[in-house]
Amino acid sequence: MADARIAFVTGAASGIGRATAKRLAAGGDVVVVADVDAAAGDAVVAEIRRGGGTAEFRAIDVALEASVTECAGRVEKELGPVAILVNSAGVLQNVADIASFSLEEHDKVWAINYRGTYLCCRAFAPRMSGRRSGTIVNISSTSALGAMPLLAYGPGKAAVQNLTAILAVELGTDNVRVNAVVPGYVLTEQMQARIDAGKRDPRSMRLHSALGRMVTPENVADGIHFLCSDAASSITGIALPIDAGYLAAVTYLHHPGLAGIHPRREDRAPVA
């Protein structure tokens, strides 16, 4: 394990973060499962260890500067230099209009999704720059690229994507790469809970993609693993869609001339 990289993954107790922690560990990295949920985080660590990987849990609240600063310092002191940072901690938002959307929820979404990403980059990027080595992957969203009734989530993800490009240039001469992934509709625990509560329509999410299906957390984790690999050594400043073709399909499927020439997508058999 002498050559193993240390990967710090926030939000790693569930969803994309959990899948990413498992994928990086399967590739030989030492993974820090960083999350506010200690019980779920410990369970992910145990799962990784049962599979032969190496992982440690560290408690963190990415919305709090003191928590991020303390955790980053402790990890580097106890485990060694962090080579990979994946900022996966995040929360979803239900549809709302500006008259009904509470400022408290707005600020919570921004505090975790954008400010949490910023604080973690701020904690680890200078250390990586000093070592002239490192890679950071942030989580954007297709919601960042078009108008959706997500008043905090969409603008927050757009800010994450812009921050990614800024840091790619700022840190590039120090050999630190910064990229983002742009997931479409991902069937995480948070998304399933909203489906179960009637807040999301899974049929609509499937049909609004080129492949006719939703994305899995493992799909996103594979993309993150690639961006952290030597195969991506000249890739920085990008936002990589992992969306089952949502961005390609969303305008195509709404073209007013499509109905007469294209088979009804809902009549096709779903992809297994």
Angle value at C-alpha 15, between 116 and 162, nearest 5 degrees:
40
List the one residue out of 35, 27, 73, 78 whose CA is nearest residue 54.
27
Determine contact, residues 120/166, Cβ cutoff 8 Å. Answer: no
Residue 143: both structure tokens together: 């919601």
Number of neighbours of residue 219 by Cβ within 10 angstroms: 20
Q: Residues 6 or more apart from 120 whose CB is under 8 A from it?
A: 8, 10, 62, 68, 72, 85, 87
Please tell me which residue in 114, 118, 153, 185 is annotated as part of the active site.
Answer: 153
Catalytic residue at 252?
A: no
φ/ψ (deg, to 5) at 35: -160, 160
Residue 14: both structure tokens together: 């569930």
- Annotate 103-126 with b (16+ C-beta within 10 A) or e (fewer): eeebeebbbbbbbbbbbbbebbbe
Q: Integer distance in angstroms from the first to the last C-alpha of the chain?
A: 38
Placement of tokens 């603008």 in the chain: 155
Residues marked as catalytic: 153
